Chains A and B, each alone.
Chain A
Amino acid sequence: MKVLVVEDSKEIASSVHDFLAREGYICELAYSFDEAQEKLLLYTYDCILLDIMLPDGNGLVLLKFIRAQKIHSGILIISAKDAMDDKILGLEGGADDYITKPFHLPELHARLRAVYRRKKLAGSNIIAFNEITLNTDTLEARVNEITLDITRKEFDLLLYLIVNKNRVLSRQSIATHLWGDYTDNLANFDFVYQHIKNLRKKISAANGADYIATVYGLGYKFNSSSV
């Protein structure tokens, strides 16, 4: 996947770059409106990460430009302003999703993947990993062709883990992913633990390998090579 990151904060841009590079994505950075415009005219990208607040222009204007140039990339808006208006304007302006600063990198990645699936893989809804297959349309999870009796939250969690496989996922990031920004995430760790426990039980009941490992002090990790 080829991604353009339009973000004026160099530190955030470099974090995103490092994280995505590890997934094997080609990630280019643009720190300003002009730079982004130039890159968009010269190259094509699968996905664009777009910060709304740029030093020399508004991301929403850039969004219009992207539409006007008929660039068919998936667009994920990043904003420090948690304003509803930005979100609505962004989505109406043709963005595919929206994420608020400060975000978790795995969350950003999961959303980017979702946008990519919808836009570029022609709405492919099957995610497969070894013996596990997830259908994002029917919310069906299969292990060794056995359909798991799985709740919506557990499905979301499994999808999040697989998309971010071999990554350390903090409990905070999992909680935010499952319950959103506005719930008190600090008190959700027990629930995260419960969900992980149930998920492992259900996968192993279907003779799936135990991919999910606890990372001491930090959170959980989905290892592509089972332990």
Chain B
Amino acid sequence: MKLVDKLSLWFIGIVVLLTPITAYICYYNLERKIDEAEITRLKEMNDIAARRLAAGLWRDQQVDGASTVVSPLTTALPEERMKISKTDIDKGNSTGMLSLLSVNSYVSVGNANYRISSSNYIPSGKQIRNAIMDTVVWKLLLIILCVCVTARLVSQKILWSLRQTMKTIQHFNVKEKVEFPASRTREFKELNSFLQKMTDKAVDEYASVKEFSENASHELQTPLAILRNKLELLSETNIEEDQAELIGDMQNAIEKLSKINRSLVLLTKLENNEYAVSENIRFCKITKDILAAYEDRIEMKHLTVTTDIDKSIHLKIHPALADMLVNNLVGNAIRHNVQDGKIELTLTHKRFVIRNTGMPPEMPTEELFQRFKKSNQSSDSVGLGLAIVKQICEVCGFSISYNYKNQLHVIQIEFVPASPNEGAKISHDNVETAVLA
């Protein structure tokens, strides 16, 4: 629910809740004041009548619509010298609309007792209630309408700054700083300055971490080269078998280190979008070349490779990345395969799918895209291959998935956003199927 709707609803709710209470107060006060005014007048008329009666000048009279009647009493004066009564009229056209208010005063003149009664018609309680109800309904309707309309109009203006802020933060990327719009509302000012500080900090931190990892990887290359070369020179001197073994282990460790370093540098570069491309390359050719390069290893493992590669597949991807992508996937499919296993490779204009036999994964397959995650933690591989594959896919706008079903590891890359339209027509003749081994 939108903020402005929420506020409007609360406001309307409060108004609806308070209106009956105010209506009642209004009704009560109105009726009391009318009664009070009329009673005061009727009392005064009674007093005048009593004075006249005492002076022997009495005759029934009518003043301003109210009539005063004097009637002698046969009984003694009641304890209460004044009685007020109010009765609703229940006959004629004005049924329920008027009430008769009468004030009876009891006086004694000489030896005789009299009752002086003045009365007048006033609007009935019901009539007042109806008038108030009508007003209240109109008032409520108008308030709701106004609130709804103005809230929308005003919120456009007041919440504009908030909307701008949200838009800015949605497009925020740790790689570059953003400016938030100025606002005159205090809360928005605070929010913006807080967000400004936070995003600036994130950008700075990211930049320094990036710079550090870039420098670190780069600076590592030279010492690694020195270590590797010196060991190579050392291995050519007169050494014993046990020393050779030590050197061999060191060479392994350096190999691993240099591999990790190289992969991390590559990942950083991918994140920095250093592999921007503008032209299409022939992806099908790269795939075939790589398969050919791996032929020896496929043969050694006695793998059966089935390929289904469409012709003229042009993709927007840096050639080095295409090479690495297919290299990693095909390399993995061979390395993690079983002896006499099989590999199925399908490449169409829409997707690249590689299926291979192998040991079932020991962890959810999606996790294998994370850095340094390996299905077999003790294996000699570095565990960055799939992370690189994933990063390449992200850079090129492909989507990738990894599943294990029917005893096959299935890695599927969808080119959808990058597939060119002109190559969409595929005749069946273009599909070639080859069995490599």
Q: How far, in whole Å, are A185 and B318 apart by their CA atoms in the complex?
A: 23
Q: How far, in whole Å, are A215 and B218 apart by their CA atoms in the complex?
A: 33
Q: Which residues of B contact A121 (CB under 8 A)?
A: none
Q: How far, in whole Å, are A173 and B254 apart by their CA atoms in the complex?
A: 12
A217→B241 contact, CB < 8 A: yes
Return the contact of B235 from the options A168, A190, A191 (Cβ within 8 A): A168
Q: Which residues of B contact A184 (CB under 8 A)?
A: 259, 331, 335, 381-382, 385
B335→A187 contact, CB < 8 A: yes
Q: Which residues of B contact A186 (CB under 8 A)?
A: 252, 255-256, 259, 380-382
Chain A positions 190 through 201: 1 when the CB is less than 8 Å from some CB of chain B, otherwise 0: 110011000000
Output the residue of A81, A102, A173, A195 with the most chain B CB within 10 A. A102
Q: How far, in whole Å, are A91 and B350 apart by their CA atoms in the complex?
A: 35
Q: Which residues of A contact B80 (CB under 8 A)?
A: none
Chain A positions 8 through 34: 1 when the CB is less than 8 Å from some CB of chain B, otherwise 0: 010110011011001000000000000
A15→B251 contact, CB < 8 A: no
A172→B266 contact, CB < 8 A: no
B335→A16 contact, CB < 8 A: no
Return the contact of A191 from the options B256, B269, B296 (Cβ within 8 A): B296
A15→B230 contact, CB < 8 A: yes
B265 on the A face (CB < 8 A): yes
CB nearest to B218 among chain A residues: A80
B328 on the A face (CB < 8 A): yes
Return the contact of A9 from the options B222, B251, B255, B259 (Cβ within 8 A): B222
* Cβ < 8 Å to A, chain B residues 245-262: 245-248, 251-252, 254-256, 258-259, 262
A12→B380 contact, CB < 8 A: no
A172→B255 contact, CB < 8 A: yes
A103→B225 contact, CB < 8 A: yes
Q: How far, in whole Å, are A69 and B375 apart by their CA atoms in the complex?
A: 56
B141 on the A face (CB < 8 A): no
A139 on the B face (CB < 8 A): no
Chain B positions 351 through 380: 1 when the CB is less than 8 Å from some CB of chain A, otherwise 0: 000000000000000000000000000011
Chain B positions 264 through 285: 1 when the CB is less than 8 Å from some CB of chain A, otherwise 0: 0110010000110000000000
Chain A positions 104 through 129: 1 when the CB is less than 8 Å from some CB of chain B, otherwise 0: 11100000000000000000000000
Return the contact of B245 from the options A106, A195, A217 (Cβ within 8 A): A217
A82→B382 contact, CB < 8 A: no
A127 to chain B, nearest CB (A): 22
* Cβ < 8 Å to B, chain A residues 130-173: 151, 153, 167-168, 170, 172-173
How many residues of chain B get a CB closer than 8 Å to chain A's CBs? 51
A182→B233 contact, CB < 8 A: no
A101 on the B face (CB < 8 A): yes
B229 on the A face (CB < 8 A): yes
A220 to chain B, nearest CB (A): 12
Output the residue of A22, A151, A186 with the most chain B CB within 10 A. A186
Q: How far, in whole Å, are A191 and B381 apart by their CA atoms in the complex?
A: 15
Output the residue of B218, B226, B266, B323 with the most chain A CB within 10 A. B226
B244→A216 contact, CB < 8 A: yes
CB nearest to A108 among chain B residues: B229
Q: Which residues of A contact B221 (CB under 8 A)?
A: 80, 101-102
A35 on the B face (CB < 8 A): no
Q: How far, in whole Å, are A12 and B224 apart by their CA atoms in the complex?
A: 10
CB nearest to B382 among chain A residues: A184
A42 on the B face (CB < 8 A): no
A102→B258 contact, CB < 8 A: yes
B236 on the A face (CB < 8 A): yes
A183 on the B face (CB < 8 A): yes
A12→B222 contact, CB < 8 A: yes
Q: Which residues of A contact B222 (CB under 8 A)?
A: 9, 12, 80, 101-102
Q: Which residues of B contact A194 (CB under 8 A)?
A: 300
Chain A positions 78 through 91: 1 when the CB is less than 8 Å from some CB of chain B, otherwise 0: 00111110000000
Q: Which residues of B contact A206 (CB under 8 A)?
A: none
Return the contact of A182 from the options B236, B275, B327, B335 (Cβ within 8 A): B327
B248→A218 contact, CB < 8 A: yes
**Given that A9-B222, A217-B244 are contacting pairs, would A15 and B229 also be in contact in the complex, using a CB cutoff of 8 Å?**
yes
* Cβ < 8 Å to B, chain A residues 66-98: 80-84
A101→B224 contact, CB < 8 A: yes
Q: Which residues of B contact A173 (CB under 8 A)?
A: 232
B297 on the A face (CB < 8 A): yes
Q: How far, in whole Å, are A226 and B268 apart by their CA atoms in the complex?
A: 48
B320→A84 contact, CB < 8 A: yes
B289 to chain A, nearest CB (A): 12
Q: How far, in whole Å, are A153 and B275 apart by their CA atoms in the complex?
A: 30
**Given that A101-B224, A191-B297, A216-B244 are contacting pairs, would A183 and B251 also be in contact in the complex, using a CB cutoff of 8 Å?**
no
B189 on the A face (CB < 8 A): no
Q: How far, in whole Å, are A106 and B232 apart by their CA atoms in the complex?
A: 9
Q: How far, in whole Å, are A179 and B235 apart by their CA atoms in the complex?
A: 23
A105→B229 contact, CB < 8 A: yes
Return the contact of A195 from the options B236, B275, B296, B323 (Cβ within 8 A): B296
B129 on the A face (CB < 8 A): no
B228 on the A face (CB < 8 A): yes
| 8 pairs of A and B residues whose beta carbons are closest in the complex | A102-B225, A15-B229, A217-B245, A80-B221, A217-B244, A102-B224, A217-B248, A186-B380
Residues of A within 8 A of B (CB): 9, 11-12, 15-16, 18-19, 22, 80-84, 101-106, 151, 153, 167-168, 170, 172-173, 179-187, 190-191, 194-195, 215-219
6 A-B residue pairs with CB within 8 Å: A9-B226, A80-B218, A81-B218, A168-B235, A187-B380, A216-B245
Given contacts A170-B232, A215-B235, A215-B244, 14 further A-B contacts (CB under 8 A): A15-B230, A19-B229, A82-B266, A84-B320, A101-B221, A102-B227, A102-B258, A104-B228, A153-B296, A168-B235, A186-B382, A187-B379, A217-B241, A217-B245
